[in-house]
Amino acid sequence: MQLSDIRAIVTGGVSGLGLAVARHLAANGGKVALFDVNDDKGTAAVASLGADKARYIRTDVTDEDAVVASVEAARDFLGGVNAAVNCAGIIGAGRVLGREGPMPLAKFSTTVMVNLVGSFNVAKAAAAVMQHNEAGEDGERGVIINTASVAAYEGQIGQAAYSASKGGVVGMTLPM
């Protein structure tokens, strides 16, 4: 697959690593749908990438129905989907037991939902669309890239939720 042929969904696409991926793809002739929840940054990202190459689609990656609808909107804008790059993530930093007491379970759960479950949610919705693509010369119908972190293996103090979520991404990706 050539970069100029990429029609990609990029989660976390309006800042950080996601925006860097989107910039690279758009600069090389690809088109991108930016899934994120920051409307101001979404508007700025599309303005910098060009409305012909990028569209911001407000998407909570933890919401199954919303992701399916967003993937359909992305497919319509892009003229198909042949790549999904999961960069959406939150830190969820905090000690399991800190000065203010134990970490609230909701904080841990939210981090796992965005980083791990969100990656799965977007991957499965994108794969459901990509399965209908015509196979390329190599038999490929699309590609899904899940972003993890060295924290999956070498987490630091205060990274229990983040490390667990990224360890989950690592463990999920190979069998996918």
pLDDT in tens, 62-85: 999 999 999 999 999 999 999 999
Is the pLDDT assigned to residue 155 strictly greater than 90? no
Share of the chain above pLDDT 70, in %: 100
> Which residues are part of the catalytic machinery?
162
Contact 9, 71 (CB under 8 A): yes
Q: What is the pLDDT of residue 160?
A: 96
Average pLDDT, the chain: 97
**Band of residue 22 on the pLDDT scale cut at 50, 70, 90:** very high
Residue 140 CB: number of other CB atoms within 10 A?
12
Q: Count of alpha carbons within 13 Å of 20, Cβ hemisphere only? A: 4
* pTM score of the predicted model: 0.96
For 135-158, what is the mean pLDDT?
94
Which residue is it, tokens 């129905």? 65
Residues 6+ apart with CB under 8 A from 138: none
Cβ neighbours around 124 below 10 Å, total: 16
Tell me, what's the pLDDT at 18? 98
